[in-house]
Amino acid sequence: MLANVVYVNLDAVRSAALSTEPYPFFLATDFLVAQAIDDLRSEFPAITKPGFLTVEKKTLGEHFRRFVEELEGPEITEVLSQKLGLDLHPFPRLTTIRKFSRGNDGRPHTDSESKVSSLLVYMNDSWLDGGEGRLRVLRGPDDFDNMVLEVPPTMGAAFAFLRRDNSWHGHMPFTGERRVVQVTWLRDAGELERKKKRNTFAQVLKGIFER
């Protein structure tokens, strides 16, 4: 019965080690319940353009829709709040999905001040042995090798962090399929609406100008 399906293993977050240098973050493995992976893999949205897409703009399969609802639920927000040491409940959430990356994606950045925290759930069956496309926690903006952690974007890996002025992260250039679901907690509802509008406009432009 779908009603009894659970997609997220919250114990993976509870048992993950929290790092505070250079900013608060953690990496959890086995974030996805093993029995749900086949359904989530088969229902991953058929996105054809690069970039993040807001979930409202795609018709999700039943399993994937319930997975997103679970990601946006109060239980995950509570567990992340306890792990990261900041109450995330007051902040609105934005969920986006990416299937394809471009070669110019992943440049070192800290995220905008409109973001409070982000959770990235990776859904790729395997990955390259090199550094291409592997998110890195960086000490600064100028050197991919000056890193604290490298995140494998493989099925069930989940990375979450608090946005700070020094929350540098990024990945070496990669072009191709790189599946990830991102939940971002934003400062206020106004920021949520602005980001949704920007995302919609960007998707329209991509539809017009990219082939």
Q: What is the Cβ-side half-sphere exposure of residue 2, based on CA atoms within 13 angstroms?
A: 10
| Span 135-174, pLDDT tens digits | 999 999 999 999 999 999 999 999 999 999 999 999 999 9
CA 78 to chain centre: 17
Query: CA 21, CA 18: separation in Å to the nearest integer?
Result: 9
Q: Say what the pLDDT of residue 198 is.
A: 64
d(CA 11, CA 9): 5
pLDDT for 188? 87
pTM of the model: 0.90
**Separation CA 109–CA 102 (nearest Å):** 16
pLDDT in tens, 2-52: 567 899 999 999 999 999 999 999 999 999 999 999 999 999 998 888 888
Q: Does the pLDDT of residue 69 top 50, yes or no?
A: yes
What is residue 161's three-state secondary structure? strand
* CA gap 160, 156 in Å, rounded: 13
Does residue 15 contact residue 77 with C-beta atoms inside 8 Å? no
Domain count, the chain: 1
Q: Is residue 138 within 8 Å of residue 144, measured between CB atoms?
A: yes
Give the CATH number, domain containing residue 99. 2.60.120.620
Residue 200: pLDDT over 60? no
Residue 1: the pLDDT is 47
Residue 201 is part of which domain span?
2-209
Helix (H) / strand (E) element for 189: namely helix 189-209
Q: Which of 155, 48, 148, 161 is nearest to 98 (CA)?
A: 48
pLDDT, tens digit (0-9, with 9 covering 90-100), for 85-108: 999 999 999 999 999 999 999 999
The Cα 17–Cα 22 span in angstroms is 14
pLDDT at site 57: 46
> 122 is written with which tokens?
């990776």
